[in-house]
Structure 1
C-alpha cells in the first residue's frame, strides 16, 4: 500500500507541473485550452529557442525509447511508476515542442550526427548503442543499468534547459525550460533514492 501511495505521488509531481500548474496557467494561454497541442509559444524567438527545442526533441525521443524498454523490462514497482509518469510527461512535452517548431517554420527532424549543434554543445544525447543494450542486458541487472543511464540522460536535459533559461528570448519557451529543469531535478532525486535503496 505504501509503495502504491509513493507511486501516485511520483506521478503527480512529474505530470502536474506541466499539464496544470505550468501550461494551464501560463501567460497568454487561452481560457478554453484543453490539449497540449493548443498551447502556443507566440512568434518572438531567437536561435537559442530553436536550438533548445530541436535538441530537446532529439533528447526526448531517445528518452521515450529508453522508457519504453523500461516499461517492459523494469521489475521494481517504484521504478515502474516513475517510468509511467516520465512517459506521460515527455510525450506531452514532445507534442508541445514539435508544435512550436512547426509554428516557427523550423525543422523538427534533428540530425543525430555528432557535429549537429556543436555551437550549443552538441545534442546532449545518450549513446545509441547503450540505448540498444537496454533491450538485452541481463534481467537481474536491468533496473540498475537503466537508472544509471537515465540519471545521466536527464542531467543532460537540465543542461539544455539551463541554456534556454540563460539565453532564450521566447517567454513561453523559457517558462517551459524552467518546468523541464524542475521536473528533471525531481526525477533525479527519485532515481538516486532508488539506486541507494532509500525508498522512504
Structure 2
C-alpha cells in the first residue's frame, strides 16, 4: 500500500469515527426520550462488539447503558498522539530543507513523500485530540525531545541546516532513519498499552509505512 493510500485511510478513519460519534449521540438522545418504554422492556439484551480479536458480549439494557465503550482512549493513546505530533513536526522541519539543500533527486523525492504523508497525519491527530477534549501537549507544556526516541538534537539539526549537496544527503538519511526507527518504537508501544481502535490503526500505519521507508533510505545510503 502506498504512503498516500495509508494517509488517506487514516483520515477516513478519523472522519468515520466523528460521524459514528454523532450518530451514537443522536441515538442516545432518542433513547433517552423513550426511556420509560425501554425500562418496561424486561429481559432486553444488547450485543456489544468486542475489540479486534475479542468476541462480542451480550449485555442487559441497563449494562449497555452504563458500559464504557470498548475503545475508550486511555492515557497511552493520548500521550502517543500528543508525542507523535511533535515527532512528525520535526520530520517536516527536516524535509523542508531538502528542496534547496539536497544534492540527490532521490533524496528530494523522498523528502517530498515524507512531507506529503506526515503533514496530513498531524492534522488528523490534532482532530482526534480535539474530538476527545485533549490538549495537543501534555500539561500545556511542550514535550522534551529527549523523551521521544529517534528525535534529532538541536546540534544535529544545526548541522543539517548548514549542510549542502552530498553532505546533506548523507546526514539527512542518517537522521531520518533514526527518526523513523523512533516512531516505530513509539507505535509498537502504544499497540500494547493503548486502547483506542483509531490510534491502533494509526500506529499500524506508521509501522508499515516507515518500515518501508527505512528500507528505501538504507538502500540510498
Q: TM-score if structure 1 supplies the norm length?
A: 0.75
Q: Specify the alignment match of 2:16 in structure 1.
A: 29
- Which runs of 5 or more residues in structure 2 are unaligned? 20-68
Q: Specify the alignment match of 2:157 in structure 1.
A: 131
How big is the shift at 1:133? Answer: 1.7
| Conserved? CA contact 1:14–1:89, under 8 Å | yes
Map residues 1-200 of structure 1 onto 2, 5 A cutoff: 13-20=2-9, 22-24=10-12, 26=13, 29=16, 44-109=72-137, 111-113=142-144, 122-124=147-149, 125-195=151-221
How big is the shift at 1:79? Answer: 1.5
- The ranges of structure 1 where at least 4 consecutive aligned residues each deviate by more than 4 angstroms after the TM superposition are none
When residues 55 and 27 of structure 1 are mapped into structure 2, their CA distance, relative to the original with a 3 A threshold, is closer
How big is the shift at 1:69? Answer: 1.0
What are the Cα deviations for residues 90-120 of structure 1, in whole angstroms up to 9, with x where unaligned?
00100011111122222213523367xxxxx
Tell me how far apart the structure 2 counterparts of residues 132 and 182 of structure 1 sit (CA, whole Å): 30
**Secondary structure of 1:177's aligned partner:** helix
| Conserved? CA contact 1:58–1:123, under 8 Å | no
Tell me how far apart the structure 1 counterparts of residues 87 and 14 of structure 2 sit (CA, whole Å): 27
The aligned length equals 167
- Which runs of 5 or more residues in structure 1 are unaligned? 1-11, 33-41, 116-121, 196-200
How big is the shift at 1:177? Answer: 0.5
Q: TM-score if structure 2 supplies the norm length?
A: 0.68
| Conserved? CA contact 2:11–2:121, under 8 Å | no
Higher Cα Rg, which structure: 2
Q: Specify the alignment match of 1:3 in structure 2.
A: none
Tell me how far apart the structure 1 counterparts of residues 113 and 107 of structure 2 sit (CA, whole Å): 10
